[in-house]
Amino acid sequence: MKIGITGMIGSGKSYLLNYFGEKGFATFSADEVAKQIIHQDQAVKNKLKKVFSELAYVDDAYNVDFVRKVVLKNKYLLSRLNAIVHPAFYQVFDDFVLHHKQPIFVESALMVSTGFYQKLDAIIWVQADRKTIIDRVLKRNTMTQVEIEKVIAIQERQVKQLSKVPHFIFSNNNEIEFKENMLRLHTFLGL
């Protein structure tokens, strides 16, 4: 069984993924794999430079702040970024599934909008209130509040699409909610 963990930025997806990893389950972080691909795959790097100019990489290091600002202003360029990275990502994911015991827990913010959910058996939607999300992201990231709000707006579209996909809602505003939801989640997944 391949179980997706998705939700908005700062909702607690990685926290839940780490919980399952600590319990001994195989885990796959889409964000980490995408970062590895963007930093290490020369073909991907060349395509990104072609689309975003040489500014996409500074001293051979991915310029995440530049690319983020560009794609937050331009949906077409966001779709180009995804079209470049996703094929390499799917190959890494398929290889991971072949070599790991199931269940596998897979964390990805873009699971629904990209169609990635179709490779999975179940979806966990992790949610937190807007203030909690913004506070979490401001503490761990170089993003401004305006940039966080733009990312949230893009990701909120997934909420509408999520109704088409069987899913489990996991509220993650505090430790008490987390523990209560873990009990329900174990039952939902039959673990």
The pLDDT profile of the chain, 191 residues, written as one tens digit per residue, is 899 998 888 888 888 899 899 989 999 999 899 999 999 999 999 999 999 999 999 998 999 989 988 988 898 998 899 899 999 999 999 999 999 988 899 998 777 777 888 888 888 888 888 898 888 889 887 788 888 888 888 777 766 666 666 667 767 667 777 777 777 787 777 77
d(CA 25, CA 19): 9
Tell if the pTM clears 0.85, that is, is over it: no
According to DSSP, the β-strands at 2-7 and 26-29 are: unpaired
Count of helices and strands (H, E) across the chain: 8, 7
Contacts of residue 57, defined as CB under 8 A and 6 or more positions apart, other chains included, come to: 45, 48, 49, 63
d(CA 32, CA 89): 10
How far is residue 49 CA from its own chain's centroid? 23
Domain annotation for the chain: domains and CATH numbers: 2-186 (3.40.50.300)
**Geometric angle at alpha carbon 13, from 188 and 81, rounded to 5°:** 120
Residue with tokens 């987390």: 178
